[in-house]
């Protein structure tokens, strides 16, 4: 290890300069060229699909809102096109672009359509698919003419040997007059120019690829304002999370001291009395043993309740589906539960999802005056876990009037998740939670 003194800084290492010929022969150069040549064709296809969907959405909107489902399908198609683009960047350029998730689906199409219209990710994806064609015309055009021109000039001696030596080179049925091609010196000069263009092509392609990646990251990646808002929310909630953890620790300590510990002390005293009486009246210790047995069972029951409050065993053994089914059965309000998880998330995400649903259903039973509720949990492949809880109660849930929703928000923000509450007066109340599952969260 080398440690630099305060007055003596270590030299900044320079990026290694790649040999132009080696760069020309590198697979990455030609993968970048293939990527850039596809820009214009895919850009036209994306713009056509998006423009057609938007046109029919607007035209059909006055006819009994027929344009609404067209708009929803258009946003789904746009999201699919964005997935294709991110896959293309990953396969051809080796660039991973994180996706901005779509808003969770809602039963009310008007609400869902409005959420899609307000979502910045939807608008940014559409903007990328609008500018993909003109940007592709630039990148694909430069790439095409650079490579074709360089190869044509480099092959000029061969072409002029095959064609009549009149300064005219024949391509197909059309003759093009190429300057300097009528002399051997001119042909050598053109071939040298073609070689120079080929050698500088990797640098040009890298620059065009960098421009392409910059635009894609800006429009297909996460929304910068959303990232800034999450960072701000994490900073604000950090102290609340620490305080909540301390409160939970003290509550656990109090429950153990006032409940289980007292039962175990009483059990010890009862067993002591039984031992003393056994020496005097062995046949009279039956009631004491019965009492001690009951106290032991009560202590075990209390410990199980505490453990279930910390982390239910069924959650570790069988996952969210089984654990949430137990919550739904115990809830006083009828609950329709739907769990659709392609890949099981990490233990942390499962625990947070479990306690979010448990707390939300407790709030529904206590405050909403609802007659029914629904819980939907879904995860596609390795994406985030989406939890949607809907009840038909009186609505009016306000995070500023109680600590319940604040506690849920703090628990969710601990893993950089999001919690949204839509609860107009008169209902219904829709609680939407997004729990991201990063690469560090290892599913079992």
Residues 41-93: tens digit of each pLDDT: 999 999 999 999 999 888 887 775 788 889 999 999 999 999 999 999 999 98
Residue with tokens 């007292």: 262
Higher-confidence position of 214 and 6: 214
Helices within 221-346 (DSSP H only): 224-255, 261-280, 286-310, 313-318, 320-330
Confidence of residue 211 (pLDDT cuts 50, 70, 90): very high
Region 331-336: mean pLDDT is 87
Tally of CB atoms within 10 A around 415: 19
pLDDT at 137: 93
Residue 287 pLDDT greater than 50, yes or no: yes
pLDDT at 349: 84
Confidence of residue 5 (pLDDT cuts 50, 70, 90): very low
Q: CA-to-CA distance for 2 and 368, rounded, in angstroms?
A: 64
Residue 80, token pair as written in the block: 């699919």
Residue 320 pLDDT greater than 50, yes or no: yes
How far are the Cα atoms of 30, 70, 113, 125, 127 from residue 58, in angstroms, in the given order? Answer: 42, 9, 13, 19, 18
Residues 220-274: tens digit of each pLDDT: 887 766 666 666 666 665 655 555 555 666 666 665 655 666 667 776 777 777 7
The number of C-alpha atoms within 13 Å of 302 and in the hemisphere containing its C-beta is 18
Region 155-168: mean pLDDT is 57
Q: Where are the domains of the chain?
A: 22-222, 244-310, 314-435
Residues 92-136: tens digit of each pLDDT: 988 888 888 788 777 778 888 888 888 888 899 999 999 999 999
Give the CATH class of 314-435: alpha beta
Residue 274, token pair as written in the block: 């039984």
pLDDT at 308: 56
Q: CA-to-CA distance for 364 and 245, rounded, in angstroms?
A: 24
């Amino acid at each position: 290890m080398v440690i630099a003194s305060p007055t003596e800084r270590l030299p900044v290492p320079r990026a290694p300069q790649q040999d132009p010929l080696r760069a020309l022969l590198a697979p990455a150069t030609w993968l970048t060229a293939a990527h850039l040549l596809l820009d214009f064709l895919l850009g036209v296809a994306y713009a056509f699909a998006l423009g057609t969907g938007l046109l029919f959405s607007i035209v059909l909107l006055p006819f009994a809102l027929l344009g609404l489902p067209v708009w929803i399908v258009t946003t789904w198609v746009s999201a699919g096109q964005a997935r294709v683009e991110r896959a293309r960047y990953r396969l051809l350029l080796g660039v991973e672009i994180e996706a901005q998730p779509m808003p969770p689906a809602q039963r009310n199409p008007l609400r869902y359509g409005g959420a899609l219209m307000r979502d910045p990710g939807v608008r940014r994806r559409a903007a990328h698919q609008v500018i993909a064609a003109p940007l592709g015309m630039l990148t694909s055009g430069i790439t095409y003419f650079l490579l074709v021109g360089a190869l044509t000039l480099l092959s000029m001696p061969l072409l002029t040997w095959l064609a009549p030596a009149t300064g005219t080179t024949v391509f197909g049925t059309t003759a093009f007059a190429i300057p300097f091609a009528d002399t051997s010196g001119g042909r050598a000069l053109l071939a040298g120019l073609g070689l120079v263009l080929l050698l500088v092509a990797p640098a040009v392609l890298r620059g065009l690829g960098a421009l392409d990646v910059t635009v894609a990251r800006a429009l297909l990646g996460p929304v910068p304002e959303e990232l800034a808002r999450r960072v701000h929310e994490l900073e604000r909630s950090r102290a609340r999370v620490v305080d909540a953890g301390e409160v939970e620790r003290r509550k656990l300590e109090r429950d153990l001291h006032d409940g289980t510990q007292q039962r175990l002390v009483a059990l010890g005293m009862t067993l002591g009395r039984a031992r003393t009486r056994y020496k005097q009246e062995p046949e009279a210790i039956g009631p004491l043993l019965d009492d001690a047995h009951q106290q032991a069972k009560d202590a075990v029951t209390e410990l199980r309740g505490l453990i279930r409050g910390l982390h239910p065993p069924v959650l570790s053994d069988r996952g969210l589906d089984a654990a949430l089914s137990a919550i739904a059965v115990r809830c006083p309000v009828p609950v329709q539960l739907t769990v659709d998880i392609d890949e099981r998330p990490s233990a942390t995400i499962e625990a947070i999802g479990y306690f979010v649903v448990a707390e939300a259903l407790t709030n529904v039973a206590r405050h909403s005056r609802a007659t029914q509720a629904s819980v939907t949990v879904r995860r596609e492949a390795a994406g985030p876990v989406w939890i949607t809880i809907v009840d038909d109660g009186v609505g009016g849930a306000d995070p500023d009037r109680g600590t319940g929703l604040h506690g849920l928000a703090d628990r969710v923000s601990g893993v950089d998740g999001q919690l949204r509450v839509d609860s107009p007066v008169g209902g219904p109340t829709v609680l939407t939670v997004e729990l991201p599952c990063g690469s560090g969260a290892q599913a079992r």
